C-alpha cells in the first residue's frame, strides 16, 4: 500500500513538472513571437515595408494583410526589464516606466491584398509602452501612451 502511494506521488510530481515545462515553453514561444513582431532597436520609418516582409508578419492567419504593426526601438533586454520590475501595473497589462521611440507601420490604402501588402511608417518619439507580461516575459504589445498621459 505504501509503495502505491509513493508511486502515485511520484507520478503526480512528474505531471506537475511536465505541465510547468510545457507552460514555460509556451510563454517563451510567445516571447519569441513578440520579439519578432515588435522589437527592432534600429527600426526607421522607411524600413516598414521591408521589415514586415522580411519578418513574415504582414499576412494574418486569416489571409488578410495586417493593418498596423508597432516596432519598439529598443533591445530585447530593455523591453523584457519592464516585466522584471521596470514597469507598473496598468489594468491587466504592464506600463513601462521609461519612454521609448516607436515606429508604427500602417498598411498603404491601395495595397490591401496579399501578397502585395505594402507599408508606410511613422516614427513617434518618447512614448510609454503597454505590454502583457507572463512569467517575466513580454508576450503581447497592447499600445502606447502619449506625453499627456502618465
Among 38, 73, 80, 127, the active-site one is 38
Cα 103 from Cα 50, distance rounded (Å): 13
147 catalytic residue (yes or no): no
Q: Decide if 140 is catalytic.
A: yes
Euclidean distance between CA atoms 45 and 135, whole angstroms: 32
Q: Which of 57, 76, 140, 145 is catalytic?
A: 140
**Burial of residue 134, with CB atoms counted within 10 A of its CB: 0-12 exposed, 13-18 middle, 19 or more buried:** middle
Do 99 and 20 form a contact (C-beta atoms < 8 A)?
A: no
C-alpha cell at 78: 530593455
Q: Which residues are catalytic?
A: 38, 140
Amino acid at each position: 500500500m505504501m509503495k502505491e502511494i509513493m508511486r502515485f506521488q511520484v507520478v503526480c510530481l512528474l505531471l506537475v513538472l511536465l505541465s510547468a515545462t510545457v507552460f514555460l515553453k509556451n510563454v517563451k514561444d510567445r516571447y519569441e513571437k513578440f520579439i519578432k513582431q515588435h522589437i527592432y532597436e534600429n527600426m526607421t520609418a522607411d524600413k516598414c515595408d521591408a521589415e514586415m516582409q522580411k519578418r513574415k508578419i504582414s499576412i494574418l492567419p486569416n489571409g488578410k494583410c495586417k493593418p498596423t504593426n508597432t516596432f519598439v526601438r529598443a533591445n530585447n533586454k530593455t523591453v523584457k526589464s519592464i516585466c522584471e520590475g521596470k514597469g507598473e501595473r496598468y489594468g491587466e497589462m504592464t506600463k513601462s516606466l521609461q519612454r521609448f521611440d516607436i515606429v508604427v507601420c500602417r498598411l498603404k490604402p491601395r495595397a490591401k491584398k496579399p501578397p502585395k501588402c505594402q507599408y508606410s511608417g511613422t516614427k513617434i518619439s518618447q512614448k510609454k509602452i503597454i505590454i502583457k507580461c507572463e512569467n517575466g516575459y513580454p508576450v503581447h504589445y497592447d499600445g502606447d501612451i502619449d506625453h499627456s498621459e502618465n
